[in-house]
Amino acid sequence: MPAARLTVVVTRRLPEPVETRMKELFDVELRDPDVAMTREELAAAMRRADVLVPTITDTIDAALLAQAGDKLKLIANYGSGVDHIDVATARQRGILVSNTPGVVTEDTADMVMALILAVTRRIPEGLALMQSGKWEGWSPMGNLGGRLGGRRLGILGMGRIGQAVARRARAFGLQVHYHNRKRLHPDIEAEHEATYWESFDQMLARMDILSINCPHTPSTFHLLNARRLKLMKPSAVVVNTSRGEVVDENALTRALRAGELAGAGLDVYERGTDINPRLRELPNVVLLPHMGSATIEGRIEMGEKVIINIKTFADGHRPPDQVVPGMF
């Protein structure tokens, strides 16, 4: 007798090739229409599924896990970050959690460079001028930005994405500096021509650009706060494609409005879609709708990792990308 197929519930629409493969392998319940599940819908899904496939917009806390029945055995997260899942409580209830690490590295690093260029070269301002029909032609002092070559880039968090940013930055002639929980091996530092700073404060004071590439943990919450923002040069730029909670968004807005920073490029926000309205008004700020990893190639690769994790679990083995409490 063949083993019973797992019941898999997916909380959002995924690329067609991923959904097709899931239907071939599992008894899958796809999301239609493509809107986020309510808390009640999530609770119901967790009671009827062997495997839940959530995304970063699904908050799965201890209270929600308490409503899950005995059937749920795996939360196969579609995404690398798992700070929206109470992994420790899931583990206590006998529910494994997996994620999709490494897939978004190159796409996110590309977006970091796009934001750096957009802010320093004033690309959105130029675009808005052209779309308004008010451009009257070239002038020597029109739309002046700054040159990247020779500037100091400070990378906060030198993991996979941070190192991918460093590779791109060197091609643009940027000087690479970094602060990390642990110093990298000398060979890796030499490969990226990167200078390590043990003190984040001391690095901040000397950087022209700061790229935030660290995860959100209790120790990184508001790591870039009002005090640290005041350490930065008035000509400096902040770029965040990691987690919005790492930055005190209100303090960043005040610094930008006061001219204490030259600009910012943000793809993530402290309170999700609830963005400080004053931040939206600033011409020296580029705001994107969390699209750092939004490539079709990346989304399909994420889905493939989810499928591998589920299939490995179904075969009685540990998912290759299992998350354990405290690993982030």
Domain spans, the chain: 7-103+295-323, 105-133+144-287
pLDDT at 327: 57
Would you state the pLDDT for residue 216?
A: 86
pLDDT value, residue 4: 77
Its CATH architecture, for the domain 7-103+295-323, is 3-Layer(aba) Sandwich (3.40)
pLDDT at position 217 is: 87
Average pLDDT, the chain: 95
Q: Which residues pair with 28 in a beta bridge?
A: 8
Same-fold call for 7-103+295-323 versus 105-133+144-287:
yes
* Rounded distance between C-alpha atoms, residue 72 and residue 49, angstroms: 6
pTM above 0.85, yes or no: yes
Distance between start and end Cα atoms, the chain: 41
**In CATH, what class is 105-133+144-287?**
alpha beta
What is the model's pLDDT at position 81?
A: 87
d(CA 303, CA 19): 8
- Spans in the chain with pLDDT lower than 70: 1-3, 326-328
Evaluate whether 156 touches 213 at the Cβ level (below 8 Å): yes
Contacts of 280 (CB under 8 A, 6+ apart): 287
| CA atoms of 257 and 284, how far apart (whole Å) | 10
In the prediction, which pLDDT does 1 show?
A: 38
